[in-house]
Structure formats: structure tokens, C-alpha cells
Amino acid sequence: MSMSMRRRELLAGTVLWLASIAAAQARIVAGALPWQPSAGAPPVPVRPGPWQFFSPEEGAAVEAIVDRLIPPDPETPGGKDAGCAVFIDRQLAGPYGSARGLYMRPPFMDGAPNQGQQSPLTPAARYRQGLAALDKYCRATFAGKPFAQLADEQKDLVLTGLERGPIQLDGASAKGLFEQLLTNTREGFFADPVYGGNRDMVGWKMVGFPGARYDYRDWVERHNERFPLPPVGITGRPDWAAH
């Protein structure tokens, strides 16, 4: 028998052996799924409670900031009631805040805008430093008032000054603080509610996003049409628990 024939018989035998194992292990699934969603690395749902990273003063400032970045209107809650400050707090208390998984070794030097942060400070450290500098500026400029106690017009003036100048913060980047707050606020408004923001899926409802639904391919090409079903989060919908 030639070498090629023996190889062919070996491969054929292997295929038959694997098929017999698969057939022996096959089973009928009925009544429930044979797996659990996110069983490999499930997200930990954010629960209501006190701040985990922010001090009470920092938390009040961030709540006031997110409510000016995404102000409420008659149809949609603002950033505060949508849970954006809670989202940021929990992220800063976790791996994001400590820059876990990011390369954080020197040298540190300014890079191009598309290179992201080039700082030795973690996100948590940048927030702590930036919020302290913002509080110092506001108290010096507005007769001892912190940001949360300013009128809405004054809050907008400060935020515009951080974004575009001329406001400069002592020991922190004004524009850097604004950009980080804006980015994290957007994330909190549109992230899955399991992370503490987007409460009651208000961000998804506003833009008509279906969320973590299994399949909505029929609607991908139907532009300017509102999806007819309510959004679904990673853990389902709150009203499902009642059934």
C-alpha cells in the first residue's frame, strides 16, 4: 500500500471518529437555552448607592457639569437624571480609572491629537486633579461658590471657557478636563444601563437604537424610520422581571 493511500485512510478514519464523537454528544435542547448570556465575562450591574470614587463635593460638581453638557428637555432627562455622573464614578473606581490594560511607562511627551493621552496620570488622577483645580477657579471667580452652586448661565460660561479658553486652571489642563468630561458623559448617556448610565435606556430611546436585541437586520437599511420595538439591554428589560 502506498504512502498516499495510508494517509487518505488515516484522514478518513479520523473524520469518522470525530463524527461519531459529535453524534454521541449531540442532544436535543428544549425549554431553555443551553447557555447563559455573558457567562464568560459578565458585567457587574451598577447598583444605586453612595459615590465610590468621587467625594460628595466632586460628585455634586460632576452632576452639575453633565446636566449642562446634556441639559434636560420636555422629552428626555438630562445627563444627571440619565445617570452619567454615576457611570463616570463607577468607571473611575474600576479598571478604567486605574488605566488597567493601558501602557503607562515613560517616556511621556506631548503627541499628536490622534494619539490620545500621553500623560503619566491615570484617568482617576486626572479627574481628581482637574476637579480640584476647577473648584479653586470657581471659588476665586464667583465669590466662594463651587461650580454646582453657580447659575446655569455661569456654568455654561465656565464650560465654554474650559473648552475654548481663556480659562486656565492651576495645575491641570482646562481643555483636557473638558474633553474628558464630555467624552465620558457621552459614554454614560449611550452605554448599556448595566454600567449605571442611560437610565431606563433614555439615550437609546432618544435616537431609536434597539440596544442588545438579537437580530434587527431587516431594519438596518430602513433609514429615517423609527424602530417599532423598545430597546433591550444586556440584562434584558426591567419590565421582564415582573413576568
Q: CA 157, CA 172: separation in Å to the nearest integer?
A: 18
| Assigned domain for 160 exists | yes
DSSP 134-177: HHHHHHHHTTT--GGGS-HHHHHHHHHHHHHSS--BTTB-HHHH
| Assigned domain for 133 exists | yes
| Assigned domain for 206 exists | yes
Q: What are the pLDDT tens digits along the chain (243 aa)?
A: 555 556 566 555 655 555 565 555 555 656 666 666 656 666 778 888 899 999 999 999 999 999 999 999 999 999 999 999 999 999 999 999 988 877 777 777 777 777 667 777 899 999 999 999 999 999 999 999 999 999 999 999 999 999 998 999 999 999 999 999 999 999 999 999 999 999 999 999 998 888 888 887 888 888 888 888 889 998 887 776 554
| Assigned domain for 34 exists | no
| Assigned domain for 9 exists | no
| Assigned domain for 181 exists | yes
Question: Phi/psi of residue 233, each to 5°?
Answer: -90, 180
Predicted local confidence at residue 56, as pLDDT: 97
| Assigned domain for 235 exists | no
pTM equals: 0.78
Predicted local confidence at residue 167, as pLDDT: 95
Predicted local confidence at residue 22, as pLDDT: 54
| Assigned domain for 222 exists | no
Question: What is the extent of the structural domain holding 134?
Answer: 56-105+120-215
Predicted local confidence at residue 220, as pLDDT: 85
Residue at grid coordinates 503607562 = 104
Rounded to a whole number, what is the distance in angstroms from the first to the last CA of the chain? Answer: 67
Number of domains in the chain: 1
